Each structure stands twice: as C-alpha cells, then as structure tokens.
Amino acid sequence: MEFSHRLRTWVLTIFLIFQSGYGWYLPGSYPHKYVVGDTLGVKVNSLTSIDTEIPFSYYSLPFCQPHDGVKDSAENLGELLMGDRIENSPYQFKMYTNESEIFLCHTGPLSGDQFNLLKKRIDEMYQVNLILDNLPAIRYTKKEGFVLRWTGYPVGIKVKDVYYVFNHLKFKVLVHKYEEPNVARVMGTGDGAEVIPTVAKSDSDVPGYIIVGFEVIPCSFMHNADSVKKSKMYEKYPAPIKCDPTTVAMPVNEKQPIVFTYEVEFEESDIKWPSRWDAYLKMEGSKVHWFSILNSLMVITFLAGIVLVIFLRTVRRDLTRYEELDKEAQAQMNEELSGWKLVVGDVFRAPSNASLLCIMVGDGVQILGMAVVTILFAALGFMSPASRGTLITGMLFFYMILGIAAGYVAVRLWRTIGCGDHKGWVSVSWKVACFFPGIAFLILTTLNFLLWGSHSTGAIPFSLFVILLLLWFCISVPLTLIGGYLGAKAPHIEYPVRTNQIPREIPAQKYPSWLLVLGAGTLPFGTLFIELFFIMSSIWMGRVYYVFGFLFIVLILLVVVCAEVSLVLTYMHLCVEDWKWWWKSFFASGSVAIYIFLYSINYLVFDLKSLSGPVSATLYLGYSLFMVVAIMLATGTVGFLSSFWFVHYLFSSVKLD
C-alpha cells in the first residue's frame, strides 16, 4: 500500500519536472509575510558529516519528536538524489515573540544501542541541520580573532573521553518589515503559489514581517530530569537556563535520560529579502579567490590564443604556397608530396570500432549540452543554492530532452562513416540511449547497496529507482530514437577525397603517439583545476558554491582549449603520415579526465584526511569515477568534432589527384 502511494506521488513528480521546465521558481521572488503571533515551524534535514559523507535521518538519534508524528516534507527529485530528507520538528516559534526556557521533551533512559550510536555520531562529527522558512540554521564561532560561519551545529562533543550532547538551543531569528510589492507576481510553483497576492487585500494594512536570518547557538546544559517528568511539551522549564557555548555540562550516559530545551529571540534587521542568503554565500572556506581565477583565465586565454595563431599561420602558409603555384608546378609538387598530403587516400578511412566512437560522441554531445544549459540557467539565478535540489532536477530534465541531439549526431556520424548507409541506425540510437546511462546506473546501484547497508538517507528509495527507470526508458530512450530517425533522414557528410582500397603503411615513430595524446590533457586541466577545487569543496565539505557565472566562463574556455589541443595533435599526426586520427582526436582532449581523477585522489588524500572507513572512501571514488566518465565523453566529443571539421576543411581546400 505504501509503495503504491509513493509510486503515485512520483508519477505526479514527473509532470512537475516538466512543468518546472516552463515556470522556474526564482528563489527570493516570493517572500512569505508573517503577522505577529503566527506559528513558525522549524524543519530538520538529514544529519551530515564531512568525516563519513554518509547522511542519516535526524530521528535515527534519540531526539524529540513532534506531537503529531514525523512527517516528510514535499521534496523534489534532486533533493532525494542528494540524500536530503526534510521532516517536521517539534521546534516551534511565534512570530516576533521572544520566549525562553521552553521545555521540549524528556527522553527515556538511553538503551545500550542508543548510547553507542550517539557516541559514534559524536565521534564522526555529525551536524544537525535545521531549516526555517527555507533558511538553514547558521552558527557563528570565533577562532584567533576571526569569526567563522557554519551551517548546522554538532550533535555533541567529546572532552577528555567524556561525551556531551548539545541539549539546549538558543535561536535568533532576524526579521525585516514586509514591504508590499508594486508589481503583481504571476510566476512560480510550490510554496510560491501560497503567497501570490489575491485581489482582495483585506490584511494589507496589518503589519507583517519576513524572515531574513536564522542563527543557532548550541549549549550543553545539565537539566534536572526529575523536575520535568510531568511537564508537557512547550511548558516553562522550572529553573533558569544559562546558555554558555564555551562550556559543556550534559554528559551522555547509558540508562540516563536527556532533557531537551530551547529559547528563541527575534531581532529586527536591515537585511532585505534578496540579500538574506549573503551570509551563507560568504561561508568560511567558500570565498572564491577571485584573483586566482582571473589570473588562471587570463593565462589560459593567452595560451589558447598563441596556440591558435601558430596553428592558423602554419596551415595557412602551407595552403597559400600550394595555391600560388601554377598547374605544372602543382603536378610536380604532387610527385614530391610530404606530410599530411601523403595520407589523402587514407585520412577518411573508417576507424576501428566506428559504432562505439559514434555512440560516445552522441553521449558526449548530450552531456556537454546539459552542462552548458544547466550552468547558464544557474548563472542567471534560476538554480541558486536557495532552491535545494533544483540543480540536479534541472540536469536530469535537460539531459533527457537533449537525447534528441545525441541520437541525431551519433546516427549522422554513423552514416557519414558508412558513406550514407542507413543500415543499423536503430541499433546505434538504442546503444546511445543506454551507454552512458547504463554506466551511471551500474555505478550508482553499486554505491546505493553500500548506502542501504549503512541505513543512510543517501540511499535512493526503491520507488525512486522505479521512477528513474521510467524516466530513462519512457522519455530519454524514445527521444534518442527520434533524434536517430532525424539523423538517418538527414544527408550524410560527403568526404572531399576518395579513400584508397589498400591502406597506407604508417612510418615508424620515434615516440608512441598515444604518449602525446595522454599528455595533451594537461592543458585543458589547467583551465579548470582552480574551479575544480571549489566544486569539490562544495560537494564534499558542505560549502556553498554560487559562482556559476565564473563556472560558465571556465566551461567556455575549456571547450575552446579542448578544440585547439585536439586540432594541433591531429595536424601533428597527419604531418608524420599517421592517418589514424579518429580515436586520437577524441582522447587528446578526453584525456583531461585522467588528470581530474588523479586530482580527485589527491583531494581525498590531502584535503579529506578525516574521511573515515572503507565505505566512505568507496563512495567518494565511485562518485569521482562517475564524474570523470561524463567529463571524458564531453571533452572528447569537443576534440573529435573540431578535428573532424578541420580535416574535412583541410582536404577540401586543396585538390589532390
């Protein structure tokens, strides 16, 4: 019964995904107006740790539960894939009403299992993540004169082999007076629909407030458990509570209960609604080193310009010298041809494993298109960190839609290699639809079994697995087949020269050509390694990544550099009479994935030193492998398509008999 209910919920989610493609919710566009005395409910997200990278449900620990039971909040596809599990909590406030010494609950005596689990979570540095009006709770600490900002607060702390739990929370809610907008808001879904002004504004004269900040100070306070045995939730605690974050007083002991209390203070702030996320975007460690990124962009742009100028001058001089000769001189020159002109009869010879190359190029087009569109939308503010899960949801949506482009490119390339033969286009389209998603499904399923075994909220529920399979086979595969059909109907690209029946022997080379191909990946890697550090920190260290504008610029530069590197290497191979350029052009730029994977291992060893356990390391390496496969396909596709265009242009510019 539960499965059928969840399945119906997810079928509705599919339609909402497509709806979201046409009406994006702009975070910050719909401030919720609260009147003094309105009830504010705090929500809880999964417990997280940079020590294990495995999220767990908040209620897996002996915390207080709401009177009316634990209820899941409506979550989008991206939130569930990221391991978020947002639920209601017993923490409740009244707008602009300061309250102190509020009794929350009195747990029963801790069992042996609860005691050991609590100690384990404290050892693993798990953080509690609270949310109010879509704002995560932020915590400020001081260290060596600097103010550090953190999201969430630790479950507890270990001092001299004694475990202490933070059982009293001091909240500060920053509010700003609500200002009636002048323009009617007509966009938005979900929570935004609740706050679109109606025609009748009977409450417009009632002063209201919007929430612009949510801070928490965790304290460990020794309560008298016997004095609250008969107390009910939200009643006044019978004794004064002094919250001192610098001291700890509530040890965790087996067969001993824990009393939880809290207090809340409201403060009017000058912060306006559009600026309420500024505090999170300035988190310690996530401040982007603007100078470093600009320096990197300038160096790469300069280097790419030099490569382009040298390359164009070399080829242009070669072509100009040939075209300036008269027919007699050209005929004599044809007899003394050298370099790339000698491979004219072999340069378009079909490569080995041609269908695999077509499939990988098709998938690369799909992944690259998804990355460009998603990052562009994020840079425009449609997928800011304020909207949890929209980035992943958007990526899935764009990936499915771009199945048409993948099928079209793969089948048209297949027909070009086969000199216009329509045969086998359905098979190529089907393989394109299943190649990369199949690899992703295999990696994610393996990792999911590890998360299931750990009882983590990061594990994808079975119902979500069914939905992902439905999205794959009912939307992505048909769209790819449609693209393949269009590619089969489109005219294939005509080669400018004929291919000889007998392949030309490739002269022996001083150095293996693949060595040069693998080394070529260092230049594209230099384009993105600084930005890669911030992306890795965002994924694995819980920091907020928000400079999508810079990321878009880096992506464009990466595409340009990949194209140039592949062009240069293809030209070099042709000059030494090596006509097997197809796969080499793909891996010349695709080899950047090797360096990214090596960088991921370096990041694991030196930046994630605290990562504990083989399960956590396996998860990290598994997700890194998934990422580098996608990057290899995208960058390799850029290199191959640019080289294909160049070779076609080069040999169509010079007529050789």
Per-residue model confidence (pLDDT) at position 122 = 94
- Cβ distance 362 to 409 under 8 Å? yes
Per-residue model confidence (pLDDT) at position 57 = 92
Mean predicted confidence (pLDDT) in 117-131: 94
Phi, psi at 156, each rounded to 5°: -170, -165
Per-residue model confidence (pLDDT) at position 18 = 38
Least confident of 157-171, 256-270, 334-348, 593-607: 334-348
Least confident of 247-251, 295-299, 359-363, 503-507: 295-299
Question: What's 251's DSSP letter?
Answer: B
Does position 269 have pLDDT exceeding 80, yes or no?
A: yes
- One-character DSSP codes across 143-174: ETTEEEEEESEESEEEETTEEEE--EEEEEEE
Does position 94 have pLDDT exceeding 60, yes or no?
A: yes
CA atoms of 563 and 569, how far apart (whole Å):
10
Mean pLDDT comparison of 49-58, 296-305, 344-353, highest-scoring range:
49-58
Does position 641 have pLDDT exceeding 90, yes or no?
A: yes
User: Could you tell me what percent of the chain has a pLDDT over 90?
Assistant: 44
Half-sphere exposure of 387 (CA within 13 A, CB side): 27
- Cβ distance 585 to 566 under 8 Å? yes
Per-residue model confidence (pLDDT) at position 257 = 92
Q: Identify the H or E element spanning 549.
A: helix 548-575
The residue type found at 348 is: F
Per-residue model confidence (pLDDT) at position 65 = 93
Question: 93 has which bridge partners?
Answer: 40
Per-residue model confidence (pLDDT) at position 7 = 46
CA atoms of 280 and 27, how far apart (whole Å):
14
Does position 340 have pLDDT exceeding 80, yes or no?
A: no
Helices (H) and strands (E) in the chain, counts: 18, 15
**Would the CA dihedral through 71, 129, 215, 67 be positive or negative?**
positive
pLDDT band at 290 (very low <50, low <70, confident <90, very high): low
Per-residue model confidence (pLDDT) at position 118 = 95
CA atoms of 116 and 136, how far apart (whole Å):
28
Mean predicted confidence (pLDDT) in 377-403: 87
**pLDDT, tens only, 536-583:** 888 888 777 777 888 888 898 889 889 988 888 888 888 888 888 899
Q: Name 504's Cβ contacts closer than 8 Å, sequence gap at least 6.
A: 342, 343, 345, 346, 577, 579
Per-residue model confidence (pLDDT) at position 174 = 96
Looking only at the bridges linking them, the beta strands covering 130-132 and 39-44 are antiparallel
Per-residue model confidence (pLDDT) at position 192 = 38
**pLDDT, tens only, 177-212:** 987 654 444 333 334 333 444 444 445 567 789 999
Mean predicted confidence (pLDDT) in 493-520: 80
**Residue 371: closest CA among 546, 25, 19, 630:** 630
Q: Name 36's Cβ contacts closer than 8 Å, sequence gap at least 6.
A: 95, 96, 97, 207, 209
Per-residue model confidence (pLDDT) at position 37 = 92
Per-residue model confidence (pLDDT) at position 164 = 95
Does position 318 have pLDDT exceeding 80, yes or no?
A: no
Per-residue model confidence (pLDDT) at position 564 = 85
**pLDDT, tens only, 22-56:** 333 344 347 888 999 999 999 999 999 988 889 99
Mean predicted confidence (pLDDT) in 505-512: 75
Per-residue model confidence (pLDDT) at position 139 = 93
- One-character DSSP codes across 59-106: GGSS----TT---BPP--HHHHHTT---EEEEEEEETT--EEEEEEEE
Taking all residues of the chain, what is their mean pLDDT, rounded to a whole number? 82
Tracing tokens 């739990």 back to the chain, one arrives at: 165
Per-residue model confidence (pLDDT) at position 332 = 52
Residue 263, SS3? strand
Looking only at the bridges linking them, the beta strands covering 259-268 and 99-106 are antiparallel
Mean predicted confidence (pLDDT) in 422-444: 92
CA atoms of 410 and 363, how far apart (whole Å):
8
**Residue 431: closest CA among 331, 353, 544:** 353
- Considering only residues 347 and 157, tell me which one the structure prediction assigns the higher pLDDT: 157
Per-residue model confidence (pLDDT) at position 542 = 73
CB contact burial 612-634 (16+ within 10 A = b; e otherwise):
beebbeebbebbbbbbbbbbbbb
Mean predicted confidence (pLDDT) in 96-124: 93
Per-residue model confidence (pLDDT) at position 579 = 80
Q: Is the pTM of this model over 0.85?
A: no
Residue 206, SS3? coil
pLDDT band at 268 (very low <50, low <70, confident <90, very high): very high
pLDDT band at 299 (very low <50, low <70, confident <90, very high): low
Does position 465 have pLDDT exceeding 90, yes or no?
A: no
| CA dist 447 → 45, 49, 257, 528, 619 (Å) | 22, 18, 37, 27, 6
Per-residue model confidence (pLDDT) at position 445 = 92
